[in-house]
Amino acid sequence: MSQATNTFVEQNQERLLEELKQFLRIPSVSTLPEHAGDIRRAAQFVADSLKGAGLENVEIIPTAKHPLVYGDWLHAPGKPTVLCYGHYDVQPPDPLHEWISPPFEPTLRGGNLYARGSADDKGQMYMHIKAVEALRAVNGTLPVNLKFLIEGEEEVGGESVAKYVAENPAKLKADVALVSDTELFAEGLPTLCVGLRGLIYTEIEARGPSRDLHSGMYGGAAPNAVYGLVELLSKLKDENGVIQIPGMYDDVAPPDPAEKESWSALPFDEKEFLDREVGSTRLTGEPGYPVLERVWARPTLEVHGIAGGFTGAGAKTVIPARATAKVSMRMVPDQDPEKIIAAYKKFVQDHTPAGIETEVRILSAGRAISVNPNHPAIHVAAESFRDVMGKDTVFIRSGGSIPIVGDFAKYLGIPTILMGFGLPDDGLHSPNEKYKLANYYSGIMTIAHFFEQYGKAPYGQ
């Protein structure tokens, strides 16, 4: 481990924080059209940061939706090439009134930096850029070849980057990809993620009468779009959360016994998980599966939102004409998204109540990922992590989805190191998202150390 880069980080703490705050102040919410200008500003900020760190050929690449940012440094012949990926877009901040400090005014409290995107993913992807800056400041050069590809649509399906990767395999050729968009299993515990669930995100619209009707005049004879949607959605899962779509579990690959064994050794406290993270009266889910297996290795279905009819203050006696719901399914290896989508659409059609018409829209679909923990780059990453944090690295999965990892495997033929520095209670996608400031600094150190170690490893393995 290079003491010099660590010292550089320590001496520049204040500036490194101030620059990240500038980045976090840009409300680059990718799903809301009114933030299109902020998305462009965030892309420009990334491009400027890459140039500032010494990367070359920096470009902002227009797409059908939000721009990509690319940059590279290719002056380490005979050394491996790392493709660094991250995203500069963030989730919407609502419900706004639940934030203690404003979501786009980064605020330090108790050693944590509170802001939308602080952990997911601005704070983490920015560490890659700052690791490059530290190495160049200390050594005047870099130990590996580097390519950066940063996108602005991760929270809305990432179609543009997927298309770009598929169409530019030569330009993006590398030995391994590096992504910091995951978390440590516990504070101070070096963690590599070797599995991600896939995601199919959909919208269901239900239509009943041609207009909202008076419930006194028509109640008892007219179909109700809200109730029709409720009846349909209620059939998707049983009371234990078991998905009722035929064939849903047919191709589910169970984790191998060694992997399951390693999970049971992880420092996981179910009561603490319930009380500190979930905050409900009890946990739910499929009987017979431990919590980590339920969220990492089992398919799930969630309704993210529902809207229809009158929802203002007070009373309005309508039979609503329309209603919509956002519904997603998480998939595990070896489930095929196309097969699941077909079964889902058929289920919705078969269970649409009489008098109601439904339409299903597929917003995005990406399959589950697993990374071979025996790949040499993963080994170097695990060792670098251990060197900086002083504990053996654990291998876990994540219940979340990073579709680009599948595209790197498919189009570039490379594995991805999922080396994240978030913490389980960071509140991704929730109000009061935060990132532990100490992890921002140690993340920069760890990534710089990984670049150095990977540059020393025998190339070609």
Q: What are phi and psi of 67, to 5 degrees?
A: -70, 150
Q: Per rule CB under 8 A, is residue 313 in the interface with a second copy?
A: yes
C-alpha to C-alpha distances, 225 to 316, 319, 333, 345, nearest whole angstrom: 15, 8, 36, 18
223 binds a second copy (CB under 8 A): yes
Nearest-approach distance from CB 433 to a second copy, in angstroms = 10
CA-to-CA distance for 394 and 204, rounded, in angstroms? 40
Site for a second copy in 113-152 (CB under 8 A): none
CB of 295 to a second copy, least distance (A): 5
Least Å from the CB of residue 317 to a second copy: 6
Is 252 a binder of a second copy (CB under 8 A)? no
Structure-token pair, residue 303: 């309704």
For a second copy, the closer of residues 187 and 310 by Cβ is: 310
Token pair for residue 436? 């532990």
Residue with tokens 């239900």: 206
Q: How far apart are CA 139 and CA 135, in angstroms?
A: 6
Distance CA 208, CA 223 (A): 6
Report, in Å, the least distance between residue 279 CB and a second copy.
Answer: 3
Contact set for a second copy, span 390-429 (CB under 8 A): 398-401, 424, 427-429
User: With CB under 8 A as the contact rule, which of the stretches 71-79, 144-152, 279-287, 335-343 interacts with a second copy?
Assistant: 279-287
Q: Counting contacts by CB under 8 A, is residue 96 touching a second copy?
A: no
Which one of residues 47, 127, 146, 295 is an interface residue with a second copy (CB under 8 A)?
A: 295
Q: Tell me the backbone φ, ψ of residue 237, rounded to 5 degrees.
A: -135, 155
180 within 8 A of 124, measured Cβ to Cβ:
yes
Residues 355-384 that bind a second copy (CB under 8 A): 355-357, 363-364
Nearer to a second copy, 428 or 447 (CB): 428
Is residue 154 part of the annotated active site? The answer reads yes
CB 403 within 8 A of CB 364: yes
Q: Is 34 a residue of the active site?
A: no
| Contact stretch for a second copy (CB under 8 A) within 126-134, 286-294, 336-344, 443-451 | 286-294
Q: Quick one: tokens of 19?
A: 């620059």
Contact with a second copy (CB under 8 A) among 75, 171, 214, 391? 214
**Burial of residue 131, with CB atoms counted within 10 A of its CB: 0-12 exposed, 13-18 middle, 19 or more buried:** buried
Q: Do residues 150 and 24 touch, judged by C-beta distance below 8 A?
A: no
Of residues 49-88, those binding a second copy (CB under 8 A): none
- Which three-class secondary structure state does DSSP give residue 374? coil
Locate 133 and state its tokens. 């800056």
Marked catalytic residue, from 89, 259, 293, 383: 89
Q: Is 267 in the site for a second copy (CB under 8 A)?
A: no
Measured from the CB of residue 359, what is the shortest distance to a second copy in angstroms? 14
Distance between CA atoms of 347 and 200, rounded to whole angstroms? Answer: 15
Number of Cβ within 10 Å of residue 116's Cβ equals 27
Of 427 and 455, nearer to a second copy (C-beta) is: 427
Q: Which of 48, 94, 187, 269 binds a second copy (CB under 8 A)?
A: 94
Query: Whose Cβ is closer to a second copy: residue 321's or residue 380's?
Result: 321
Binding map of a second copy across residues 425-444, x = CB under 8 A, - = no contact: --xxxxxx------------
Instruction: Report the site for a second copy in 149-168 (rule: CB under 8 A).
Output: 155-157
Residue 18 neighbours by CB distance under 10 Å = 11
- Residue 366 β-bridge partners: 199
- Show the tokens assigned to 17: 């924080």
Closest approach, Cβ 316 to a second copy, in A, equals 6
Least distance between a second copy and beta carbon 453 (Å) = 30
Footprint of a second copy on residues 316-355 (CB under 8 A)? 316-320, 323-326, 328, 330, 353-355
Q: How many alpha carbons fall within 13 Å on the CB side of residue 79?
A: 19
Q: Please tell me which residue in 154, 181, 183, 433 is annotated as part of the active site.
A: 154
Active site residues: 89, 154
